[in-house]
């Protein structure tokens, strides 16, 4: 009865009741922030001089700290502990709300949002979350029903006693005699790869160390190809090891620090594929399945500006590429015997409005994914007729993805569909009959009704006229008078698209009268690879001005109003929220910065950082180009903090995070405190053991999200701002 009454309250009253409850809890009580000492460091680059007062927060042995977080210098560790204590004290009155949100989120995350069993020959492979477990367990059972479920990997048991633990790339060998996975026990993403003999149940001794996480069994099941992570945390070599254990053999070494590497098998299992790539250039090497110890052969040597990937389909190669000015990519044929660029011929002609994001061949059909204006479309081509059939989706905003590990000989296509209000659905599409079959539908808990909610896709107009997509989720009964609070998320870098997926966690805000918005700003790829290219290097500020334009458009249309929008960014999304916090501090009620890339000018000036050579094609090199230096200096969040009234900020980081160093948010928070005239809390929470994303276990992730959302609710208590002594 109370639940039904709660759902009938107006969104504005719900939001106001929670804000008042926190304000009445004594949240205004003064808590003195930590003192951050200043040790000025004079930096001279390209004739430019700047002084960094908080450079000391970056440990002199920072690379060793990534490998061994316990080696962090005592003064820095003490300071981070003081920051943790401060944020915990300031947010203590929100603890009850955090706990309530956590239990709500847990009820909507029943563990059934895992894929249905994957068939491989006579076996079905699947994983589950045991009751109360942080980590999944993996099983298999015979398709004919004989015997029971066979436990392959108990993630909870592997994680026992560890502060941080993450399992990835769980797979079995093609002959189904071996089972393998990669695990990270510190958060530094230096994985160990373990292999289990499914006949004896024994895990082989001497696991693979210092792996990047990527690995693949050769199609004959005799070898494991894996990516080695260098001391500089860069994927630098491909090794081959006997699947049952033995010595590693170097297969390929990537000497250019500006390239990432991956290893996989083509869908037909005809080749092992090694791909070197960055945002501008790629190169593919193939090892035939029939000769897994042979030297990898280059498909087309790297040419600056040429991006391509390869699949083999019925005796020919299909090339997904930006060749010939196809900025948003096209498909081409290539001769398998002579696959170089000279043999490439157009198959799917280039259409600028359609961004081809992926492809997957089957023996009797071929699938590609296209995205237009932030929405995806599946196109299925039959091998017998080469006739093309689209699979369309009607919701205003949604996410669709092809399932991994589909059998090449399958007669149906399996994909997962979801939207911000629709939990995951696993669907099989029969290519011959065009019929759809529901394989599994995830639940969002008892009483969840998607019809109570509305998903919208609107467009904001940027300052240069570009139409920027925004995905919105809200309650259907929301009063569109600007009174609703809003959580606004953005990323906008590296061509990454923020998919409008279902998130049960979000409804802990939505049911309290909030609006959730994803701003698909330039720098991402919502409207194609061209959308990414329009906001990088000397045009990067478009990412930030697009985000501001989205906020202003949402205010204009009555979704919220100035001072009632909390913004959230992760990693390079932290760069986004840090930049717009400097550019338009008047718009925001609060800022959630998760592993934020905010000390950008200093980081991009350090060529020894593992990601700097890789990402300089995106940002430019401030050490060789004065224009790039001045441009980055004009928007880097740390350098552009200025005397003004800033909203409350909650930043999170991990000492072991080797993508964005812990010192970036630590320095930024100190600088914000110096210049903030509102004296609102600027908080930093640091995990000693943890990865780039912070928490890894399922429950720990929910707890972190509950913290973020409780902070967002608190941030609207404008009359309860923290006051300096």
Task: Map 64-129 to HEC letters.
Answer: HHHHCHHHCCHHHHHHHHHHHHHHHHHCHHHHHHHHHHHHHHHHHCCCCCCCCCEEECCEEEEEEC
Res. 23: pLDDT tops 80? no
Cα 576 to Cα 544: distance, rounded to the nearest angstrom = 6
Active-site annotation holds for 186 = no
Q: pLDDT value at position 472?
A: 98
pLDDT tens-place string over residues 92-132? 999 999 999 999 999 998 667 889 999 999 999 999 988 88
What pLDDT is stored for residue 10 in this prediction? 39
**What's the pLDDT band for 5 if we cut at 50, 70, 90?**
very low
pLDDT surpasses 70 at 695: no
C-alpha span between 91 and 722 (Å, rounded): 11
Q: How far is CA 486 from the centre of its chain?
A: 22
Confidence band, pLDDT 50/70/90 cuts, at residue 17: low
Q: Which value, in Å, is the radius of gyration of the alpha carbons in the chain?
A: 26
Place of tokens 């492809």: 359
Q: Are 140 and 152 in contact (CB under 8 A)?
A: yes
Of 100, 151, 152, which is closest to residue 703 (Cα–Cα)? Answer: 100
**3-class secondary structure, 204:** coil
Q: Is the pLDDT of residue 241 over 80?
A: yes
Q: What is the pLDDT of residues 256-305, one digit of tens each?
A: 989 999 999 999 999 999 999 999 999 999 999 999 999 999 999 999 99
Q: Is 657 a catalytic residue?
A: yes
Q: Which residue has the higher pLDDT, 7 or 456?
A: 456
Task: Give the model's pLDDT for residue 658.
Answer: 87
Q: What's the mean pLDDT in 328-333?
A: 98
Tell me what pLDDT residue 711 has.
Answer: 98
Hunting for tokens 């969840």 — which residue is that? 448
Share of the chain above pLDDT 90, in %: 85
Query: What CA–CA distances, in Å, run from 220 to 95, 154, 171, 296?
Result: 54, 27, 15, 17
CA–CA distances in Å: residue 372 to residues 279, 356, 377, 461, 600: 20, 9, 8, 17, 32
Q: Among 525, 571, 680, 710, which one carries the catalytic annotation?
A: 571
Q: Is the pLDDT of residue 723 over 50?
A: no
Q: Which of 520, 609, 692, 722 is catalytic?
A: 692
Q: What is the C-alpha to C-alpha distance for residues 204 and 376, in angstroms, rounded to an integer?
A: 43
Fold of 2-106+453-720: Rossmann fold (3.40.50)
As a whole number, mean pLDDT of residues 4-12 equals 33
Give the active site residue among 52, 312, 546, 657. 657
The pair phi, psi for residue 631, each rounded to 5°, is -70, -50
CB 553 within 8 A of CB 525: no
């Amino acid at each position: 009865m109370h639940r039904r009454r709660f759902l009938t309250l107006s969104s504005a009253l719900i939001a106001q009741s929670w804000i008042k409850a926190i304000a009445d809890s004594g949240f205004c009580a003064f808590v003195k922030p930590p003192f951050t000492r200043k040790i000025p460091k004079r930096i001279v680059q390209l004739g430019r001089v700047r002084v960094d007062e908080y450079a000391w927060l970056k440990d002199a042995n920072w690379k060793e700290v990534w490998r061994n977080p316990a080696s962090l210098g005592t003064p820095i560790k003490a300071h981070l502990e003081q920051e943790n204590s401060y944020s915990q004290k300031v947010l203590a009155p929100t603890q009850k709300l955090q706990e309530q949100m956590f239990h709500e989120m847990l009820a909507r995350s029943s563990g059934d949002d895992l894929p249905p069993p994957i068939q491989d020959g006579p076996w079905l492979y699947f994983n589950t979350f045991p009751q109360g477990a942080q980590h999944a367990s993996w099983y298999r059972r015979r398709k004919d029903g004989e015997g029971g479920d066979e436990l392959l990997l108990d993630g909870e048991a592997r994680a026992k006693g560890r502060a941080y633990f993450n399992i990835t790339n769980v797979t079995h060998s093609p002959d189904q005699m071996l089972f393998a996975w990669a695990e990270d026990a510190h958060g530094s993403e230096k994985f160990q790869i373990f292999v289990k003999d499914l006949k004896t149940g024994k895990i082989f001794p001497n696991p693979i160390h210092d792996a990047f996480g990527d690995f693949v069994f050769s199609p004959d099941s005799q070898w494991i190809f894996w990516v080695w992570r260098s001391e500089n945390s860069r994927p630098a070599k491909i090794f081959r090891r006997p699947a049952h254990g033995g010595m590693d053999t170097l297969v390929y070494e990537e000497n250019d620090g500006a390239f990432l590497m991956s290893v996989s098998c083509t869908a037909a299992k005809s080749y092992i594929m090694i791909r070197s790539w960055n945002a501008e250039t790629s190169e593919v090497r193939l090892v035939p399945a029939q000769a897994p110890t042979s030297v990898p052969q280059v498909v087309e040597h790297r040419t600056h500006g040429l991006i391509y990937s390869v699949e083999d389909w019925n005796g020919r190669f299909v090339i997904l590429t930006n060749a010939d000015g196809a900025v948003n990519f096209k498909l081409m044929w290539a001769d398998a015997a002579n696959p170089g660029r000279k043999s490439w011929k157009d198959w799917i002609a280039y259409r600028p409005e359609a961004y081809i994001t992926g492809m997957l061949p089957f023996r009797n059909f071929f699938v590609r994914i296209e995205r237009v204006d932030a929405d995806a479309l599946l196109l299925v081509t039959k091998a017998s007729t080469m006739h093309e059939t689209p699979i369309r989706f009607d919701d205003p905003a949604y996410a669709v993805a092809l399932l991994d590990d589909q059998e090449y000989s399958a007669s149906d296509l399996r994909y997962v569909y979801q939207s911000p209000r629709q939990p995951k659905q696993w669907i099989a599409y029969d290519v011959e009959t065009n019929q759809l079959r529901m394989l599994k539908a995830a639940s969002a808990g008892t009483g969840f009704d998607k019809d109570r909610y509305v998903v919208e896709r609107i467009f904001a107009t940027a300052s240069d006229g570009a139409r920027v997509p925004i995905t919105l989720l809200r309650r259907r009964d929301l009063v569109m008078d600007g009174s609703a609070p809003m959580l606004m998320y953005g990323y906008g870098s590296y061509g990454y698209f923020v998919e409008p997926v279902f998130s049960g966690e979000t409804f802990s805000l939505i049911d309290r009268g909030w609006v959730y918005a994803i701003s698909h700003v330039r720098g991402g790829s919502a409207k194609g690879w061209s959308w990414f290219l329009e906001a990088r290097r000397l045009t990067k500020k478009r990412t930030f001005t697009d985000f501001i334009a989205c906020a202003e458009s949402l205010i204009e249309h009555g979704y919220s109003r100035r001072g009632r929008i909390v913004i959230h960014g992760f990693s390079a999304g932290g760069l986004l929220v840090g930049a717009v916090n400097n550019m338009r501090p008047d718009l925001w009620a609060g800022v959630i910065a998760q592993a934020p890339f905010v000390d950008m000018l200093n980081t991009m000036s350090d060529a020894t950082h593992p990601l700097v050579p890789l990402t300089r094609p995106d940002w430019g090199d401030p050490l060789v180009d004065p224009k790039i230096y001045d441009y980055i200096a004009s928007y880097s969040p740390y350098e552009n903090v200025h005397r003004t009234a800033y909203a409350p900020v909650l930043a999170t980081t991990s000492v072991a995070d080797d993508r964005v160093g812990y010192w970036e948010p630590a320095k930024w928070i100190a600088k914000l405190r110096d210049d903030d005239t509102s004296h609102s809390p600027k908080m930093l929470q640091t995990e000693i053991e943890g990865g780039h994303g912070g928490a890894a276990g399922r429950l720990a992730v929910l707890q972190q999200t509950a913290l973020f959302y409780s902070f967002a609710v608190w941030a609207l208590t404008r009359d309860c701002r923290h006051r300096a002594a």
